[in-house]
Amino acid sequence: MELTEPPPNPLSFAAGLGGEPAPHRRVGIRMWGMMTLLIGTVSNTNIVITADGLSRANPLTGAGIRSNAFQKIFPLPSISIAIAHHGFNILAGDPVNEFLQQFMTNVEKDFTAFGVHEITIELHKFTDSAAKAIFANPTNKGIIGFWVAGFSSEELRPLLYEIWWKPNKHCTEKHDLIVFGGDGKEFVRHHIEEFEKDRSKCEEVSRYSLEDALKFHSKIYEEAEEKQKQGGEKIFGGHQHQLVIKKDGWHWIKPPQALKGID
């Protein structure tokens, strides 16, 4: 299935919600597959992605990985592109990191010659059957989603695409400027509303230096942590990791930890 070129969204909620905010959920009642806080900014010169490390198993089936240090950002070797993951952490029977490693090794193509959109298309093809198999189980009500972000040689500025699957539905979206993903975004709802009301604040992101972007991510993440604490919930957390992508390559600001169980 070919992915069409969607129009960009300057401010996106991501996490498979098609740009629409999730309805408020009562404290203590949450679908197990909907954890995570992902923050993405796309400026003219860099992309920064921040992710938490919390991962849980399905309480009904026991499937999945329980960890405080689950890696959700995966830079690709030799190119200025990375994949970020949210949602179900087991695909085709393998942890998502192993699934993505298979994607890189089993697809017999030279990814160094691919752009962001081309890799998004290939990842969609590779994931589609595994994602649909998960939702064939009626107890699985969450989401499977990937961000593909970075620089394409033919583009003047970086790009960020998202592909996601939910029961009986899947989509691809092109995001621009600011992206929030996962259920943890409910804790930054006031920022989302502020950006929606004042487009100029959102567009400031396009001019962010790396220092500006890192300050923004730190502020958003810390505020989300505080609001989560006040609400007595545990939607995201664990080891935070953060990646910067520039035209000449990527590097970790906060690298992931080795996978470990929840304390």
* Residue extents of the structural domains in the chain: 8-21+32-254
Over 70: is that where the pLDDT of 176 sits?
yes
Name the pLDDT band for 55 (thresholds 50, 70, 90): confident
Predicted local confidence at residue 183, as pLDDT:
86
Q: Which of 71, 175, 87, 176 is nearest to 127 (CA)?
A: 87
The residue type at 9 = N
- What is residue 10's predicted lDDT score, i.e. its pLDDT? 58
Question: Are the C-beta atoms of residues 225 and 50 closer than 8 Å to each other?
Answer: no
Summarised one tens digit per residue, pLDDT across range 103-145 is 988 766 778 889 999 999 999 999 999 999 999 988 888 889 9
Question: 209-229, pLDDT tens digit by residue?
Answer: 999 999 999 999 999 999 999
pLDDT digits (tens, 9 = 90+) for 1-15: 444 455 555 555 443
pLDDT of residue 19: 34
pLDDT value of residue 104: 86
Strand-pair category, 159-166 with 64-67: unpaired
Q: Quick one: pLDDT band at residue 26, thresholds 50, 70, 90?
A: very low
Q: What is the pLDDT of residue 199?
A: 84
pTM recorded for the entire structure: 0.85
For residue 72, what are its two tokens?
Answer: 């959700």
What confidence score (pLDDT) does residue 150 get?
97
pLDDT at 204 over 70: yes
User: And the tokens for 1?
Assistant: 């299935």
pLDDT at 110: 77
The third-level CATH classification (topology) of the domain covering 8-21+32-254 is: Glutamine Phosphoribosylpyrophosphate, subunit 1, domain 1 (3.60.20)
DSSP the chain: -PPP-PPEEEEE--TTSTT-PPPP--TT---GGG---EEEEE-SSEEEEEE---EEE-TTT--EEEESS---EEEPTTSSEEEEEEE-SEETTEEHHHHHHHHHHHS-S-GGG--HHHHHHHHHHHHHHHHHHHTTSTT--S-EEEEEEE--TT-SS-EEEEEEEETTEEEEEEEEEEEEESGGGGGGHHHHHHHHH-HHHHHGGGG--HHHHHHHHHHHHHHHHHHHHHHT--SS-SS-EEEEEETTEEEEEEPPPPP----
Q: Write down the mean pLDDT value for the chain.
A: 83
Confidence of residue 262 (pLDDT cuts 50, 70, 90): very low
